[in-house]
Structure 1
Amino acid sequence: MRKYGMLAVVLSITLSAAGCSPDEDAFRDQGKMAERAEEPGGSRQTSPDHAERPSVLGFDAEGRILAVTDGETGGSVLYAINPDKGTSEEVIRTELVITEAESHPSGRLLLRLDTGEGEARLRLVGDNTAENDLIVESHDIAWSWNPEEWTKLYITAFDENWEFEVFLADASTGSLQSVEDAGPFPVWLEADGVAEIIDDGDLEDGGTLVDGNGTVLADNVLEFSSDGKMFAIAKAAGEGSIDYMIGSGNDDWLPVLNLPAEEQWLGLLPAEIEQAGPGRFVTLLPAETEDGSEASNWQPAVISARGIRKASVMVDSPVITCSPETSVCLSGAMREMLFDTADGTLVNWMDKLKGDSGE
């Protein structure tokens, strides 16, 4: 689920030299990606000039890393980078600035474009997608893409006062239908179901996790993620502590970790919970500090029905982006760290591409 606009992170990488693979299985093929080029020849194998400064956005359906650079005459160029091979492929060139990119299991892409004119513009890339951008007047935008049916897309438009309107979009035609009585962040589940947190106005106690029928799945939820069948939630508990739990939402919540109040980064709700494969989720836990001050490092941790498995390494940012189709996540201030959820390793994929030792 995209809850808010992702700030572009500026970095500089070199893609000309191939390095070691952190895990070949982490980038196994997930099927052929749909046609992606906006211009003829746009899908050729190429590498951004090392002087350019790409922003790393996430993964495509094949587990490749998506990164954006400025176009030669304005706009953006989106690349798909394969750290295993040390190569990158140009996906699309646009006349506007790409600020977010999300991949669908079908291989199609959804791009958020910045016009700087108070409107949200989403562009679908791939076979049989809408010929025109999805456009809504808004100050900010959120969306949720149906993982089983790529044509269905919830879009939430916010104004300057964070009042919102929810639309159901048809990704094949570009049509928008207003949805009445919807919360701000509906998330698709299996069989066209939805779930979301309804905020009660008290951030310390969290909100109520409900399904599309308004049935309460859990109270005091601060953060959640779902693969359509299983949920992982961070739940406010007694004395300021936080319980991480996993379950199907049918009163079968299984505690996997309790995070005491003194081990939390002061003033920060739990880091986002990301889906990272069927029944497997990833979060970042704040590193404990001796004097109770704000944490400067975070520890990747895998949540599953077996419990929670913490990595022995740290990253310097509470932001994480995972690939639901593979076993890897991006983290770090520049999304330069690649965390493998299967074996708990953490490597600097940028250094690998440059032939450095990494971490």
Structure 2
Amino acid sequence: MNKKKVNVLLFFLISILWLSACQTEQTQTSPPVKEKPENKEVVAGILAQDRFVENIGWLSDSEILSVQNDDDLSSLYIYNLYDGSNKKIYGIPSSFVSASISPDRKKILIHSAPASYSARVTIIDRAGEVLFQEDIPSYELTHSWNQFDDNALLMTSFSEDWSFQVFHIDVEEGTMDSIEVEQPFVQWQSKSSILFQDWNKEEISVAAPLISQNIQGGEKEMIVDTSVHFNQFKDSLLSIFSREEEGPFAYQFITANGEIQSEFTVDLLSRYSDWLIPYYDMIEGKGQLITFVANEPGSFDTYSGTFSLEEWDTVSGGENVLFEDLPLEPIQCSPNGDYCLYGNQLEKVIDLTDSTIIQLLKEEGADL
């Protein structure tokens, strides 16, 4: 064998050894394949029907807040939907009216009525410790949590003649101060500014300009020139409006710097003096709006048709029909968007991963 052939053979042998070493090294340094996480499923029938009042909402991806009757006392319970376990966190000493969960899911506001024309506002943490409590003369009460400041919310108290007063509550400071606002239904736009529709007081209308107001200096700015309905989320503002008097209506999502993020057009059902905005909820982490849409046009007062449940991606503009035939009832989705509480008392769960509906109420005479 001549020297040239020996060199070629030696080259091929070295190449094979080098490739084998590389493959061995790659095999050794490759990350291990992760096992699929355990599939969590909601347990049906975990709520006793004879004690159940209503569900309030999600405290986490697996926990919900529920109101139960304990003899003559309404109590708040935390239920784990995956194993059915529950824990009582607070007994409401006066007549229960309503409750809501803060955007950070760490605080709970309870509206109770210790006497006629009086409201008691109690804010507790998840352990049931009272963080804030105040009695307010009130015929009716509304409130709005601040998504940009976990310790702030707005409270509007109505008198019997529907005159009103708006308060700024600071939970951490334990203060409740009145603020001057022209309209009663207000939402936070930022840590220091609020939004409201500037309705014409002289005539009935179905739309109004959307106004921003700084609560510290009082400066105002028009954000949208006409809006039928609005909702400020953490990452975007939803404004619903019509370019024509009878529709269709646009669901427009606007970023913090005023740019239009996306827009969807639907037909709304008419009512005697306005338009029906079907129930909806925003899955903030995914930028997805889950909403009902009427399957037929018409008037809500005489409507006998059905509703579809649709998912809208507020960033890409994509749409997806989740259910084609459901009753129109309130809906509230978990933070991760896998499940939604559904029903007039949020007593059911919609599994968005496989389009099934789970009943949380235990049937009479059934075993858990």
Q: With structure 2 as the length reference, what TM-score do the two structures score?
A: 0.71
SS, match of residue 109 in structure 1: strand
Moved over 6 A (4+): 289-292, 351-354
**Cα distance 1:253–1:25, how it changes in 2: closer, same or farther (>3 A)?**
farther
In structure 2, C-alpha distance between the alignment counterparts of 1:146 and 1:325, rounded to whole Å: 21
Q: Which residue of 2 aligns with 1:118?
A: 117
Q: Which residue of 2 aligns with 1:19?
A: none
Q: Is the 8 A contact 1:275 1:324 kept in 2?
A: no
SS, match of residue 346 in structure 2: coil
- Which structure 2 segments of 5+ residues have no match? 1-38, 214-218
In structure 2, C-alpha distance between the alignment counterparts of 1:344 and 1:236, rounded to whole Å: 34
Match of 1:220 among 213, 219, 226: 226
Structure having the higher Rg: 2
Q: Which residue of 2 aligns with 1:315?
A: 326
Code of the aligned partner of 2:252: M
Q: Which residue of 2 aligns with 1:15?
A: none
**Cα distance 1:108–1:333, how it changes in 2: closer, same or farther (>3 A)?**
closer
5 Å matches for 1:174-189? 174-189=174-189
Q: Is the 8 A contact 1:230 1:248 kept in 2?
A: yes
Match of 2:310 among 258, 279, 301: 301
**Cα distance 1:113–1:247, how it changes in 2: closer, same or farther (>3 A)?**
same
Q: Which residue of 2 aligns with 1:87?
A: 85
Larger strand proportion, structure 1 or 2?
2
Within the alignment, does 1:281 sit opposite 2:289 as a pair? yes
Q: Which residue of 2 aligns with 1:35?
A: none
The number of residues matched between the two structures is 310
**Cα distance 1:215–1:96, how it changes in 2: closer, same or farther (>3 A)?**
same
Within the alignment, does 1:259 sit opposite 2:266 as a pair? yes
Q: CA deviation at 1:352?
A: 9.2
Code of the aligned partner of 2:328: S
Q: Is the 8 A contact 2:118 2:135 kept in 1?
A: yes
Q: Is the 8 A contact 2:234 2:284 kept in 1?
A: no
Code of the aligned partner of 1:259: V
| Higher mean C-alpha displacement, 95-104 vs 247-256 | 247-256
In structure 2, C-alpha distance between the alignment counterparts of 1:203 and 1:245, rounded to whole Å: 24
5 Å matches for 1:1-359? 24=40, 49-61=48-60, 63-72=62-71, 74-104=72-102, 105=104, 107-126=106-125, 133-200=133-200, 205-212=206-213, 213-241=219-247, 242-248=249-255, 250-254=257-261, 256-260=263-267, 264=269, 266-267=271-272, 268-278=275-285, 279-288=287-296, 293-295=302-304, 297-303=306-312, 304-307=314-317, 308-323=319-334, 326-339=337-350, 343=353, 345-350=355-360
In structure 2, C-alpha distance between the alignment counterparts of 1:290 and 1:116, rounded to whole Å: 42
In structure 2, C-alpha distance between the alignment counterparts of 1:286 and 1:327, rounded to whole Å: 23
**Cα distance 1:249–1:204, how it changes in 2: closer, same or farther (>3 A)?**
farther
In structure 1, C-alpha distance between the alignment counterparts of 2:321 and 2:226, rounded to whole Å: 24
Q: CA deviation at 1:235?
A: 1.1
| Higher mean C-alpha displacement, 223-232 vs 267-276 | 267-276
Q: Is the 8 A contact 1:222 1:269 kept in 2?
A: no
Code of the aligned partner of 2:207: G
In structure 1, C-alpha distance between the alignment counterparts of 2:177 and 2:299, rounded to whole Å: 52
Task: Say which structure, 1 or 2, has more relative contact order (CA 8 Å, 6+ apart).
Answer: 1
| Higher mean C-alpha displacement, 236-245 vs 186-195 | 186-195
Q: Is the 8 A contact 1:217 1:250 kept in 2?
A: no
**Cα distance 1:218–1:249, how it changes in 2: closer, same or farther (>3 A)?**
farther
In structure 2, C-alpha distance between the alignment counterparts of 1:130 and 1:352, rounded to whole Å: 31
* Partner deviation per Cα, 1:202-244 (whole Å, 9 max, x = no partner): 6653222222242222132122222223122221331411111
**Cα distance 1:93–1:290, how it changes in 2: closer, same or farther (>3 A)?**
closer
**Cα distance 1:90–1:326, how it changes in 2: closer, same or farther (>3 A)?**
farther
In structure 2, C-alpha distance between the alignment counterparts of 1:103 and 1:151, rounded to whole Å: 12
**Cα distance 1:214–1:284, how it changes in 2: closer, same or farther (>3 A)?**
farther
SS, match of residue 215 in structure 1: strand
Code of the aligned partner of 2:67: V
SS, match of residue 259 in structure 2: coil
Q: Is the 8 A contact 2:51 2:70 kept in 1?
A: no
Percent pairwise identity? 17
* Partner deviation per Cα, 1:272-297 (whole Å, 9 max, x = no partner): 54332143333222232699941453
Q: Is the 8 A contact 1:328 1:340 kept in 2?
A: yes
Code of the aligned partner of 1:95: P
Q: Is the 8 A contact 2:255 2:261 kept in 1?
A: no
Q: CA deviation at 1:124?
A: 0.9
